[in-house]
Structure 1
Amino acid sequence: MPDFPKKLSAKLEQRATSNALRSFKPQSNLVDFSSNDYLGFSQSETIFQKAHELLTETKNTKNGSGGSRLLTGNYALIEKTEKHIAAFHNAQSALIFNSGYDANVGFFQSVPQRSDVILFDELCHASIRDGIGLSNARSFKFGHNDVEELEKLLEKFTTDGIDIYVVTESVFSMDGDSPNLEELAKIGRTHNAFLVIDEAHALGVFGHHGNGLVQALGLENEFFARIMTFGKGLGCHGSAILGSIELQSYLINFARSFIYTTALPPHSAAVISCAYRQLEIDGESLGKLRENILHFNREKNRLGLKPIFVYSKSAIQCAVIPGNDSVRSVAKLLQEKGFDVRPILSPTVPEGQERLRICIHAFNSEDEITRLLIELSAKLFG
């Protein structure tokens, strides 16, 4: 075997020199302020047992699906789960993908056509950007949550024969903030644009029974497509694209990340189904999460930390501490004090926007939240 390519070694060395080299971290017993498991569903023995019972009841004993959904990988439980998801989200259809990444790549690779235009928020997730990169449509970014810049772009490109897709997220993964969805819906109607939204970090956090920010605002009919990801608030794996029956049919026929992959196994479909049913009955976890978010913001303000945090009412709270070395140092101290808080480094975020990304959960105690913020304040100001 030849030596590892020198050009690749140089890129790794460059990452190491800038203190930005990624590597796996072992699991720890620290207080969790870093995972996306907002409701604690990934740890739920109730969901685990109910999924097992559902598999037994439906006589699903396979370890895998056996193939693509279009070949041998389709089965009754996954179709029933899709119908349940669609009803829960007040949508005509739901099509399950293997991950949120697969859903975004599949949608943007296949739906916008060569003559179309995609307008996307500059802070959209990498999976959205990768999908756009595979599209034949032209694409242009607009300033983060900047509806005025978006409207100027819409005025520029609105013309006969061009479909315009406007793309955003209901909760941004690296800031925790949200766009003005009512204003976005109004602009979309005015310019006859197709609105697409990723609700990965809103599912299980916002709305009645945690059904997302779009439904919380009663705007589900304004959006051409909603992407729901299950690896955050639902604590499991997979995702679904919500939309019309026609959109579902189109994706089944043209979304390559759906067509050319082995379908999720029955066990995954069972866990997704049971996690959704748990959302419908478990108001306690959702209520505790919202109380903890309020407590975090009150304590952040009391301790004088508000200026360094990005404004957020979500479970994601970000303290901007510029410089990879600086933010690593603060994260290391917090970890030594018993809190699992991770630094987000450039190039994941722009240089100068490095931050601590603190995730709030239903299972965190108010005392844990207060102690974390006291330690952060002491490190920065004291």
Structure 2
Amino acid sequence: MNHFEDVIAQVEKQGLSRTLKAIENDKDGYCAFRGQRMLNLSSNDYLGLATNAQLKQDFMHQLAENPSWLFFGSGSSRLLTGNTSLYDEMETALKNWYKSEAALYFNSGYHANTGLLPALSEKKDLILSDKYCHASIIDGIRLSNAEHVRYRHADYDHLESILEKRRHLHQHVFIVSESIFSMDGDAADLKRLVAIKEKYNAILYVDEAHAVGAMGQTGLGLCEQQGVTSKIDILIGTMGKAMASVGAYAILNDTLKQVLVNKARTLIFTTALPSVNMAWSKYIIDKMPSFNNERESLQKLVSYCNGKAKELGFEPSGGFILPFVVGENDVAVQLAEHLQRKGFLIFPIRPPTVPKGTARLRMSLTANLKIEDVDMAMEEIESFIHKS
């Protein structure tokens, strides 16, 4: 066991130690942490729906009228007895919302990303992924038999140069990107990616985890905002962020869905989600197009905070994920602790989550935050920087 003690000691020496934290959600963008009420600046609940009491009350009324939903365990995988009618209703709702051929529901975004690419790709294939793709995508690619090359972050000329040299050597080529990148908050140029995939006869795979619900006229995400929803071959959306639930889904065609039902290990070999979770997810999906007020409130906050970040000398992301890159691990930790003492819940993000030398605070903006409250956090960041 000494080896593992040495591992922990090395992690602590590098300033990379992580711990699990008990945090209780409160209303109006606040939470309780270590006995203190804090403004929650670390949540991915972008529309503030997870703490919306009225939504919860309305759903509970529906639950009372549908006792068959009230099961807290499914007891089986979807391919055995866990695939209740709510799964079918949910996938139909998703298919109709996206105007797609098919949808397939997974237990989480991690399950989706680690299941799809290994099931769909083969040795003769090539996967080209943005260098800043999420760890779940990287793990999925590692589980596949395809060759893998990363292109420089958002460098589509680099992506094309790889395709020009290598497209003819492979059966299928998958181009993989997030739409909103989780650590930098910047947006992919999906129109450019669509044009590239069409030019080189590739398959475009886009993870909309941080965009779906929070962006687009009806909440379909960056793909809707950029007008390319129907042109993305495989689109991943997650329910655990702006959708205030659990699980994830893939939007794709009927053929790919059937391949996944037969080959995706993260679908086949895991217990299905309980009915009560699927009922809540369906409830949220049905209501999602109507949350325009929340999306507008979020956008106002985004505009203000990005302007403020620029004033402080940071590179604004333009979105609702704001990275305050400070460089060194200890500086990020000290700044986070300073903000927590002042009543703002925000955490340091350090390697290996982000590249070495780019430790940061990652501020997540949500629709239930007030500008004046977030402004106070910005002032504390400014004060800390000037003292350092």
* Same fold at TM > 0.5: yes
- Partner residue in 1 for 2:57: 49
- Partner residue in 2 for 1:33: 41
After TM superposition, list the pairs within 5 Å mapping 1:158-237 onto structure 2. Answer: 158-159=167-168, 162-237=171-246
SS in structure 1 opposite 2:104?
strand
Whole-angstrom distance in 1 between the partners of 2:59 and 2:126: 42
After TM superposition, list the pairs within 5 Å mapping 1:139-154 onto structure 2. Answer: 139-154=148-163
Q: Note if 1:314 corresponds to 2:322.
A: no
Contact 1:324 1:345 in 2 (8 A): yes
Deviates more, 1:97-106 or 1:361-370: 361-370
- Partner residue in 1 for 2:8: 12
- Partner residue in 2 for 1:106: 115
* Identical pairs, percent: 34
Stretches of structure 1 that go unaligned for 5 or more consecutive residues are none
Whole-angstrom distance in 2 between the partners of 1:271 and 1:60: 9
- Partner residue in 2 for 1:281: 290
Whole-angstrom distance in 2 between the partners of 1:200 and 1:66: 27
Contact 1:50 1:274 in 2 (8 A): no
CA RMSD in angstroms comes to 1.4
Whole-angstrom distance in 2 between the partners of 1:287 and 1:190: 36
Whole-angstrom distance in 1 between the partners of 2:96 and 2:6: 51
SS in structure 2 opposite 1:178?
coil
Whole-angstrom distance in 2 between the partners of 1:98 and 1:220: 23
Deviates more, 1:20-29 or 1:104-113: 20-29
Q: Note if 1:362 corresponds to 2:371.
A: no
Q: Note if 1:340 corresponds to 2:345.
A: yes
Q: Deviations over 1:240-295 (max 9, x none)?
A: 01110111111111000000011111111111111122322222111111111111
Whole-angstrom distance in 1 between the partners of 2:290 and 2:230: 25
Whole-angstrom distance in 1 between the partners of 2:59 and 2:260: 28
Q: Deviations over 1:292-351 (max 9, x none)?
A: 1111123233xx22x323x42221000100111011111111111111111101222111
Deviates more, 1:18-27 or 1:109-118: 18-27
Contact 1:51 1:267 in 2 (8 A): no
Contact 2:314 2:325 in 1 (8 A): yes
Whole-angstrom distance in 2 between the partners of 1:161 and 1:64: 43
Q: CA deviation at 1:160?
A: 6.6
The residue type paired with residue 38 of structure 2 is: L
Contact 1:252 1:259 in 2 (8 A): yes
Aligned residues: 374
Q: CA deviation at 1:48?
A: 2.3
Q: Deviations over 1:208-258 (max 9, x none)?
A: 122110122221222110000111111111000111011111111100000
Q: CA deviation at 1:56?
A: 4.0
Whole-angstrom distance in 1 between the partners of 2:200 and 2:234: 17
Whole-angstrom distance in 2 between the partners of 1:333 and 1:161: 52
Whole-angstrom distance in 2 between the partners of 1:226 and 1:86: 12
The residue type paired with residue 297 of structure 1 is: N
SS in structure 1 opposite 2:60?
helix
Q: Note if 1:297 corresponds to 2:299.
A: no
Whole-angstrom distance in 1 between the partners of 2:292 and 2:274: 29
Whole-angstrom distance in 2 between the partners of 1:313 and 1:89: 25
Whole-angstrom distance in 2 between the partners of 1:274 and 1:314: 27
Contact 1:198 1:227 in 2 (8 A): yes
